[in-house]
Structure 1
Amino acid sequence: MHPDALPPPVFRYDGSGHLCKLGLIYIASSIVMDAEWSAMAAPGVSVHTTRIKLPKVTVEGIEEMMNSPELAQAARLVGSAPIDLMCFGGTSASFLHGTAYDHALIAKMQQWVPGVRVNTASTATLAALKEVRAGKVALASPYVDAVHAKAIRFLEENGHQVVQHANLRIDEDRALAEVPLEKVYDLVRSVDHPEASAIFISCTNFRSVGAIEALEQALGKPVISAVQASFWHCLETLQVAGARPGYGQLFAKRLARAADSTGR
């Protein structure tokens, strides 16, 4: 057959970030956040990750990570790619010393990578809670008590009284990701409270997004996770409709239109 008589080629979607390219600074031993972002991302949204080491999921271990020169290096590495937004994907690390600390972290990231928009898991969480008009909340986390207490303080200093909470007291990062989704579902249901207008699931190495729709159906209220909120806030900041359906009412305004096999 003459080449000119061949039908036009059919291209498959290849992961191209033609809608937006998201840069993620994430924990080296963690496996949940970038995987869940990719699960929620519609064709056209790509995720590009760089990593930093976390010695232990304790206040001391988190502080050691945040004071390491690796953090600036990680930001500059992922920021050297043509990304549209850079997210720091550590919830406890960004709320460790309160709201001012989180704002200072964003300012440092903007200095390290000028011209790239920046967010953190904690900033995104507050924006997501505002989006669903949350007031009082319930909190579920896998943290040790000291880190869990800082999560409560962060929420409450930002106007979200925590009326019920529970934590699993896990101090090893790899163990966080090993909690089965069924146990996460049960933990979140256990913290529900009549006065809680929403439930927040903290930690970006703690599986959550696969259970959010089922939890919202069971509880009749918004369920926000740190991973889900971070991804949503990236899309919201960039004004991109790039989420797949099925990951919570938070994405109501950010759902992608149906795409063909090429993702365009």
Structure 2
Amino acid sequence: MGAAEGGPLPQFRYDGSGDNARIGLIYMASSVVMESEMWAMAAQGVSIHTTRIRLPKVTFKGIDAMMRSPEIEQAAHLLGSAPIDVLCFGGTSASFLHGTAYDRGLIENLKQWAPGPLVTTASTATLAALAEVGATKIALATPYVDEVHDRAINFLEENNHAVLRHANLGIDDDHALAEVPLDEVFDFVKSVDHPDASAIFISCTNFRTVGVIEALEAELGKPIISANQASFWHCLELQGIYGARAGYGRLFDRRLAGGDQNVGNI
């Protein structure tokens, strides 16, 4: 007997629908980490929808070539045709490579190419996340080659975050970035800590991070911000949504969904 005939209501399974927030993501075609980490952090009612662009190599030349390609505009048009609430450009090094003014210009371009949704980038989200946790002087961990790592330092210091200690892994292959195991990520991030750093930032959206954030914060006693965590948080923050699951860092203290159940507007 169905509900219309006075019987019990049917029981439906959660189907991943973004009833409360749909996040649109422009992401590198060879990358795999950011989407899965966003889904891991997302409470019920938040969904992630991706369009991809090609990254030749994780070097200055390769990233710069990607950012000069018409694929970014095409991706924004495609993604903007879906009923998304916020659009995130999921490339940290790509958005900080040429400095803060470039990152801001990228956001303005994305707004023109995909009018309607709110817009952020991994770099803009990082700055907002560092402000959220009250970070000033920081430590930096990246998997990048030197020329890209140095640009990360420049971007952070340009935005008034003195980098007290830093280290990088020198990886220039996108697949290899995603293959660094979590135990190595944990040890690597610990190694860059500085007693005067108010937070540690882990850059790169194809570098596994969110699984170790809570453990790192417990061990080091300070906020840990990663590019993927910051990007997801900023998408929620822009919309005023309680849409994160517990266990992914202090950053989400104001964005946790009650009981990890369905989320809603503030």
Task: Pick the TM interval, shorter chain.
Answer: over 0.9
Runs (5+) with no aligned partner, structure 2? none
Would you say how many aligned residue pairs link Structure 1 and Structure 2? Answer: 263
Using the aligned pairs only, state the percent identity: 67
Partner of 1:133: 134
Partner of 1:173: 174
Shift, 1:6, TM fit: 4.1
Shift, 1:19, TM fit: 1.1
Partner of 1:42: 43
Partner of 2:258: 257
* 8 A Cα contact 2:200 2:224, kept in partner: yes
TM-score, with length taken from structure 2 = 0.96
* 8 A Cα contact 1:176 1:206, kept in partner: yes
Shift, 1:52, TM fit: 0.3
Shift, 1:5, TM fit: 6.0
* 8 A Cα contact 1:23 1:78, kept in partner: yes
Shift, 1:159, TM fit: 0.3
* 8 A Cα contact 1:199 1:222, kept in partner: yes
TM-score, with length taken from structure 1 = 0.97
Partner of 1:188: 189
* 8 A Cα contact 1:127 1:233, kept in partner: yes
Q: CA RMSD in A?
A: 1.4
Partner of 2:66: 65
DSSP-derived class of the 1:39 partner: helix
* 8 A Cα contact 2:79 2:114, kept in partner: no
- CA–CA distance in 2 between the matches of 1:111 and 1:48? 19
1:45-87 C-alpha deviation (Å, 9 max, x unpaired): 0000010000000000001100001110011111110000000
- CA–CA distance in 2 between the matches of 1:110 and 1:78? 12
1:114-142 C-alpha deviation (Å, 9 max, x unpaired): 12210000000000000000010000000
Paired letter, 1:231: F
Structure 1 residue ranges, 4+ long, deviating more than 4 angstroms after superposition: none
Shift, 1:7, TM fit: 2.5
Runs (5+) with no aligned partner, structure 1? none
- CA–CA distance in 2 between the matches of 1:214 and 1:119? 28
Paired letter, 1:159: N
Partner of 1:14: 15
